[in-house]
Chain A
């Protein structure tokens, strides 16, 4: 049933999975907008990778190899959900895979930059971001919530909240870019 001795030990594999985890999620989000099962897909992909780990050529980069599994798993998911019509053209998916894999190079520096940029935001902006991205609330829900808190005063509409988020993200992006340039990374 199970394979015999693996070429790679589990610890090394875990390390690699961990370092590429966010990028794997990124790929799922990119080619399957609206997907609610991101974690499951990534997990299944990881299981498949482990099964095939002996095929992996340790001299080559791990992320592109791993993303191929994620891609396959995501497409399988789309199919299983009958979302075939919501499927990007293969060529576009190729390009996305490449883009995600290639600027995975500077992943560490980029996340660090994001961290610093987030710390530059105001407390209330950060809280807003946390509501959406950490607590997983929908923008409409956040709008309702703030409406409740500000009872009587003008409620924030979901639309204007979206704009706020877009602005915040744009400024974060600028910030990350400039930090990357400062630290000598090529702008992406």
Chain B
């Protein structure tokens, strides 16, 4: 044995077994022998440097799979995670260093935040071992986390509050918590793995460690926030966060007033507040107005006057049914409004709430929430047919199904006693998640992903909680533990599914559990086929002995002289000895024998049977298949998954609702149905608030709580907290009556105000959170399209049914699907259905529906952006060109003989915008018409090409008619691209 080998052997023994004798030998050897000493140093060098060698690390990561799957136990200090953790720590130090250098060189405190934000670091989030009391540079890393960027300035309910005086009485909930949560919880919050100095500021107990009630001068927290010393200062200068003077004063006054702690407002049950007194009581139509007015009066702001009747009727139509009024409807309303305004409004609202399009309008945001789509997503993105679920939603809203029932049927309709087909379809809500049918996908991993998605969608939709954060670690801000997460997970973990795709027919792919919904004719057809097959089956079965005998005789001949039409695999069965064949193999051979080699009578029977079986399969494949929820008989066990990885199971858990919320009568081990009932129970403080807030958002553009997706402690404070609670309690007490809630909102004076921009509020309330006017924003693109279709007269207002394929650019699907999916536009008036029914492919959504939710995960807030692409789409997309052309043709056809440009333009304008054009508007439009007319008169080919875009419009043979039509169509395009047309005024 060489010297180095001897050294290593001794070291190894000392290392692995704490062998004192080996240790002493090692010490003697290296102390006495210089060469051994060198060998030891070399060995140590190797041992300490090899784990960081790049060429090994790369390999280690790539080859991670087999190791991970071995589930070998390793000492923590030597695990791969620890090693890579160390590497990450080093990387983190380097990056923190870069950040710091940048901050120092910029020399400007304000830039610090943006620099810290710009560091693309996931490191801080990954490596929780860093959080210890370690050296200063490592701590910096904790903040460089894009998932939790700092917010800027003091904002409450969207209103800048820095200028406001510090409130006389400080409330922990409404003044203090948001400051602590934003600036402190990241390191001093609920997540123990990430806590600094063992101090938490999100509990009363924790706060008392840093705060001396009634004496700010003795409170460490106050000393730290006022400190000028960079090492003392909190939040630390490198965090990018800082407190304003007002925020510091609030904290200080709060301590002075006794540092009273309160539970987060949204986690306490809403109490119905008293309706406030207001000075201008005449203005208020209903309690909503009193809440809004009280706040306005406290700031000496006057509300805005009512909108014009023409605006009100249009607003109500668009908000409640999603399509604008026809001119005659608009005129009738204006007349009724002049006679009795309140009555006219009430009647209009009643009519709209009763319209079958009400359900469509309400379904739109619900489909975004439910991530509804007509395809599965991922690269394969196969089709699915969940549209019966979509129709269920529309019907439920139209029937004014109480929201608690609406909740229970979607989450757990399958667990109701003797569920109806509709109740099963309703559970499609939690099968709307994406589905990965790719060959390489690991089924169990996918299955877990589906359950994750259900947890996220359910928690966001009903609880307004960002539950997903707790998938890998305790929540950083809210008191949701990882265990809470997996208890919630357990409710959705018992679906009878494997994580793969079970049924493939053409493009269609779906996964069990599902139900099949044959049409009457399909059922009849199946019955007819079954009726014909039965006697054949019987006859063949009766003759089985005879057939088998004949077959054995044939086999001997066939081995000698094998029929040429016989395939290789069948031949392989044929030559097998009878005892070696499986039953299945023998039956296959028998099938072939019957079809090809048996006597004529049997051959005929068999052929008929095969033909009928084929027909049966073809019918079967056409049957509508809808994915639903269904529990497994043998319940699946649920474990906490360490770091959210389905392969690393921690302790076992059972179902249960989040531990920080009142559990009511829901116990551990409760069912999904219990969960659904709990969500809409009186005990649950969140659902009613979260839901009314989303309805509010639908009618006012922004929720009372702006962060409609998050009601946790990081939520923005409600702009009108009493109004929110009043609405929430009213809603629940009304029996979750959706139409009543909607009626209350849209008949309020607040809603009916004009949306005209007010200069006096531009500075005070730029986002219109105080609601001193009605909001004004661009309509969702889906509704702009619906409006264009309606106004032109093309709209096919049919409700429900299979998705349709309106026009879209050629080859768009092919380009995005690697040539897999061709797109065949629907024929006839299916192209003019409402946007709700357009086929939604997850990987390639309809291109003219900009700003739509991606329908991949639960989305509760619609994006509102503004890019030139939108304007170009509205001008050039064939659907919009066609509607303009069709409107022009329709106006001309109805204009009567001898009508001319002026009256045409007038008509088109009234139809599109819902009011008469002003004199100057009319002049501009006539001028535009004249210019186009001159152009098209001299270029009839251009006119034809333009009109040819519109399939529904016949191109006039007469030259004058042609140029008139083309010119009027251009004018219509102008009208349909006005602000007024595409805006909710």
Q: Does A5 contact B (CB under 8 A)?
A: yes
B957 interface contact, C-beta 8 A: no
Interface mask (A13-48 → B, CB under 8 Å = 1, otherwise 0): 111011001110110011001111111000110110
Question: Residue of B at shortest CB range from A51?
Answer: B135
A72 at the interface (CB under 8 A from B): no
CB 8 Å contact bits of A165-176 with B (1 = contact, 0 = none): 010011011000
B78–A36 contact, CB under 8 A? yes
Question: What is the CB-to-nearest-CB distance from A6 to chain B, in angstroms, rounded to a whole number?
Answer: 8
Question: Beyond A10-B100, A10-B136, A11-B104, is A135–B64 a contact (Cβ under 8 Å)?
Answer: yes
Are the CB atoms of B97 and A11 closer together than 8 Å? yes
Residue B8 is within 8 A (CB to CB) of chain A in the complex: yes
- Contact with A17, one of B2, B5, B61, B93 (Cβ below 8 angstroms): B93
**Chain A residue with Cβ nearest B30:** A92
Residue of A whose beta carbon sits closest to that of B139: A10
A100 touches B93 (CB 8 A): no
Contacts of B8 in A (CB 8 A): 166, 169
Name the A residues within 8 Å of B230 (CB-CB).
5
A9 & B72 in contact (Cβ 8 Å cutoff): no
Most A CB contacts (10 A, CB to CB) among B2, B27, B72 go to B72
B231 touches A5 (CB 8 A): yes
Q: Tell me, rounded to whole Å, the shortest Cβ–Cβ distance linking B941 to chain A.
A: 68
**Complex contacts, B803 vs chain A, CB 8 Å:** none
Given contacts A34-B15, A134-B56, contact A43 B135 (CB under 8 A): yes
Is A131 an interface position by the 8 A CB rule? yes
- B97 near A14 with CB under 8 A, answer yes
Whole-angstrom distance between the Cβ of B248 and the nearest chain A Cβ: 20
Q: Is A36 a contact of B41 with CB atoms below 8 Å?
A: no
Q: Does B575 contact A (CB under 8 A)?
A: no
Evaluate contact between A130 and B56: CB separation under 8 angstroms: yes
Which of B4, B12, B136 contacts A170, CB < 8 Å? B4
Chain B 74-105 interface 0/1 with A at a Cβ cutoff of 8 Å (1 = within) = 11111110111110011001101100110010
B847 on the interface (CB 8 Å rule)?
no
Contacts of B51 in A (CB 8 A): 133-134, 136
Interchain CA distance A169-B47 in the complex, whole Å: 9
Tell whether, in the assembled complex, residue B76 and residue A36 are in contact, meaning their CB atoms are under 8 Å apart. yes
Given A36-B75, A134-B80, check contact A17 B135 (CB 8 Å): yes
Q: How far is the CA of A134 from the CA of B26 in the complex (A)?
A: 26
In the complex, whether A54 has a CB less than 8 A from a CB of chain B is no
CB distance from B863 to the nearest CB of A (A): 39
Known A-B contacts A4-B231, A18-B93; the reply to A173 vs B46 at CB < 8 A is yes
Complex CA gap A36/B152 in Å reads 44
- Residue of B27, B57, B70, B90 near A18 (CB, 8 A) is B90
Segment among B16-24, B264-272, B327-335, B911-919 that sits at the interface with chain A: B16-24
Q: Which residues of A contact B489 (CB under 8 A)?
A: none
Residue in chain B with minimal CB distance to A12: B97
Assess whether A17 is in contact with B137, with CB atoms less than 8 Å apart. Answer: yes
**Quick check: A22 and B52 within 8 Å, CB to CB?**
yes
Closest to B85 in A: A39
Q: Are A10 and B47 in contact (CB under 8 A)?
A: no
A90-118: which residues lie under 8 A (CB-CB) from chain B?
A: 91-92, 95-96, 99-100, 103, 110-111, 114-115, 118
Q: Indicate which residue in A13, A30, A92, A138 contacts B135 across the interface (CB closer than 8 Å).
A: A13
Complexed CA–CA distance, A129 and B11 (Å): 18
CA distance A46 to B54 in the complex (A): 24
Tell yes or no: A49 within 8 A of B by CB. Answer: yes
Q: Does B42 touch A at the CB level, under 8 Å?
A: yes
How many residues of chain B have a CB within 8 Å of chain A? Answer: 79
Within B136-162, which residues are at the interface with A (CB < 8 Å)? Answer: 136-138, 140
* Nearest B-chain residue to A24, judged by Cβ: B48
Q: CB-CB < 8 A to A99: which residues of B?
A: 37, 41
- Residue A126 CB within 8 A of the other chain: yes
- Interface: A181 (CB within 8 A): no
Central interface residue in A34, A141, A166, by most chain B CB within 10 Å: A34
Report whether over half of chain A's contact residues are helix, strand or loop; otherwise say mixed.
Answer: helix
- Chain A residues lying within 8 Å of B137, measured Cβ to Cβ, are 10-11, 13-14, 17, 50
| Residue from A38, A39, A44, A130 whose CB has the most chain B CB atoms within 10 Å | A130
The reply to whether B14 and A118 contact each other, CB–CB distance below 8 Å, is no
Q: A2 interface residue, CB < 8 Å from B?
A: yes
Residues on the B chain within 8 Å of A153, using CB:
none
Which of chain A's residues has its CB closest to B64's CB? A135
Q: A43-B135, A134-B57 in contact; A166/B83 too (CB < 8 A)?
A: no
B43 within 8 A of A: yes
Interface pair B55/A138, CB less than 8 Å apart: no
**A121-153 interface (Cβ within 8 A of B):** 126-127, 129-131, 133-138, 141, 145
Asked if B97 contacts A129 (CB within 8 A), the reply is no
Smallest Cβ-Cβ distance to A37: which chain B residue? B77
Cβ of B274 under 8 Å from chain A: no
Chain A residues whose CB sits within 8 angstroms of the CB of B63 once the complex forms: 127, 130-131, 135
Most buried by A among B12, B40, B51, B84: B51
- Closest Cβ–Cβ distance, residue A115 to chain B (whole Å): 6
A96 to B46, CA, bound (A): 15
Decide if A115 touches B41 in the complex (CB within 8 Å): no
Contact indicator per residue, chain B 881-906, by CB within 8 Å of chain A (1) or not (0): 00000000000000000000000000
- Known contacts A22-B52, A134-B59; is A50 also within 8 Å of B136 by CB? yes
* Residue B506 CB within 8 A of the other chain: no
Docked complex Cα distance between A110 and B53 (Å): 11
A58 interfacial contact with B, CB 8 Å: no
Instruction: Indicate whether B614 reaches chain A with its CB closer than 8 angstroms.
Output: no
Given A43-B132, A134-B56, also A14-B4 (CB < 8 A): no
**With A127-B59, A133-B51, A169-B46 in contact, is A43–B30 under 8 Å at CB?**
no
CB-CB < 8 A to B80: which residues of A? Answer: 134-136
Determine if A119 is an interface residue (Cβ-Cβ < 8 Å): yes
Task: Decide if B231 touches A2 in the complex (CB within 8 Å).
Answer: yes
B246 to chain A, nearest CB (A): 26
The answer to whether A50 and B135 touch across the interface, beta carbons within 8 angstroms, is yes
A2-B231, A10-B137, A18-B93 as given contacts; A131 in contact with B67, CB under 8 Å:
yes
Question: In the complex the two chains form, is A145's CB within 8 Å of B70's CB?
Answer: yes
Q: Smallest CB–CB gap between A110 and chain B, Å?
A: 8
Q: Does A162 belong to the interface (CB within 8 Å)?
A: yes
Q: A114 CA to B85 CA in the complex, in Å?
A: 22
Cβ B74 vs Cβ A138 within 8 A = yes
Given contacts A10-B137, A50-B136, contact A162 B12 (CB under 8 A): yes
Knowing A14-B137, A39-B86, A86-B23, the reply to whether A33 touches B15 (Cβ < 8 A) is yes
Please give, as numbers and ranges, the residues of chain B lying within 8 Å of A134 by CB-CB distance: 51, 56-57, 59-61, 80, 83-84
* Distance in angstroms between the alpha carbons of A130 and B56 in the assembled complex: 5
Inter-chain contact A3/B100, CB cutoff 8 Å: no
Give A129 to B66 CA distance when docked, in angstroms. 15
Q: How far is the CA of A169 from the CA of B39 in the complex (A)?
A: 11
B49 at interface by CB-CB < 8 Å: yes
A89 at the interface (CB under 8 A from B): yes
Q: Given A4-B229, A17-B137, A133-B50, check contact A39 B104 (CB 8 Å).
A: no
Most buried by A among B20, B45, B52, B133: B45
Residues of A within 8 A of B584 (CB): none
User: What is the bound-complex CA distance between A34 and B47, given in angstroms?
Assistant: 12
Q: Counting chain A CB atoms within 10 Å of each CB, which of B12, B42, B90 scores highest?
A: B42
- Judged by a CB distance under 8 angstroms, whether A60 is at the interface is no
- Cβ of B232 within 8 Å of any chain A Cβ, yes or no, is yes
As a 0/1 sequence over residues 156 to 188 of chain A, the CB contacts with chain B under 8 angstroms (1 = contact) are 000000100010011011000000000000001
Chosen A-B contacts, 12 in total, with CB atoms closer than 8 Å, are A10-B96, A17-B135, A34-B14, A35-B77, A39-B89, A91-B31, A126-B55, A130-B59, A135-B67, A136-B82, A170-B2, A188-B38
In order of increasing CB-CB distance, the 5 nearest A-B pairs are: A134-B60, A36-B77, A14-B137, A26-B48, A136-B78
Chain B residues with CB under 8 Å of chain A are 2, 4-5, 8, 11-12, 14-16, 18, 20, 23, 26-27, 30-31, 37-38, 40-57, 59-61, 63-64, 66-67, 70, 72, 74-80, 82-86, 89-90, 93-94, 96-97, 100-101, 104, 129, 132-138, 140, 229-232
